[in-house]
């Protein structure tokens, strides 16, 4: 088992749309295990494959109820609004208040190929939306208000990334 280096802002792999997984084989199972290990080491509450340089539609998460893996996820419904101070392991040590839908209905598959259908709100709902964005090549910076974003870009341009995030609620 290995811990992957987490790709950070500026890496082009974070801007690519990840590809659907057609077959859940041993490689995917191993990838999921290594992604979970990487996520716990960070530490974070979620991690999508592009964040470890793999352009596949899979993410892992744990919001305190144990490790979970979702393959080929889709959000089929979203409701309400919720403001949350969101962070990202690929944009370390920075957080912004971001408004997104409060509840989402996520579908996908688990590692055994079973269909998943999960109603999630607040933190879990936020993690799902954040990870889905990663699979579509979208970083949370694109979810910021215009002024917030300008300021964020100034900070990011000015700094050299040196490693892992300290916050534990990043994804």
**Residues classed as catalytic:** 131
Query: What sign for the dihedral angle of Cα 110, 78, 103, 153?
Result: positive
CB nearer to Zn ion: pick between 24 and 52: 52
From 166, 95, 80, select the one nearest 130 (Cα to Cα): 95
39 binds Zn ion (CB under 5 A): no
For the CA atoms of 17, 83, 117, 140, the dihedral, rounded to the nearest 10 degrees, stands at: 10
Q: How far is the CB of 88 from Zn ion (least distance, A)?
A: 3
For the CA atoms of 36, 40, 46, 49, the dihedral, rounded to the nearest 10 degrees, stands at: -40
User: By CB under 5 A, how many residues form the interface with Zn ion?
Assistant: 2
Which residue shows structure tokens 């100034």? 154
Q: How far is the CB of 113 from Zn ion (least distance, A)?
A: 26
Region 85-104 residues binding Zn ion, contact defined as CB under 5 A: 88
In whole angstroms, give the CA distance from residue 159 to residue 112. Answer: 42
* Beta bridge partner(s), residue 74: 107
CB nearer to Zn ion: pick between 27 and 53: 53
Q: How far is the CB of 135 from Zn ion (least distance, A)?
A: 11
Q: Which residue is nearest to Zn ion (CB)?
A: 88
CB nearer to Zn ion: pick between 24 and 125: 125
The binding site for Zn ion (CB under 5 A) comprises 88, 171
């Amino acid at each position: 088992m290995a811990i992957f280096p987490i790709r950070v802002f500026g890496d082009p792999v974070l801007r690519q749309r990840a590809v659907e997984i057609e077959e859940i084989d041993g490689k995917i199972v191993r990838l999921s295990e290594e992604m979970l290990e990487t996520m716990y080491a960070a530490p974070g509450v979620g991690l999508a494959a592009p964040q470890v340089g793999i352009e596949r539609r899979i993410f892992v998460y744990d919001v305190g109820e144990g490790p979970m893996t979702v393959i080929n996820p889709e959000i089929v419904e979203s409701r309400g609004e919720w403001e949350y101070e969101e962070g990202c392991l690929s944009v370390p040590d920075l957080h912004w208040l971001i408004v997104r839908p409060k509840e989402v209905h996520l579908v996908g598959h688990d590692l055994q190929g079973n269909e998943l259908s999960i109603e999630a709100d607040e933190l879990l709902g936020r993690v799902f939306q954040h990870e889905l964005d990663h699979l579509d090549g979208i970083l949370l910076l694109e979810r910021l208000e215009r002024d917030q974003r300008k300021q964020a870009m100034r900070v990011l341009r000015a700094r050299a990334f040196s490693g892992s995030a300290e916050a534990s609620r990043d994804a």
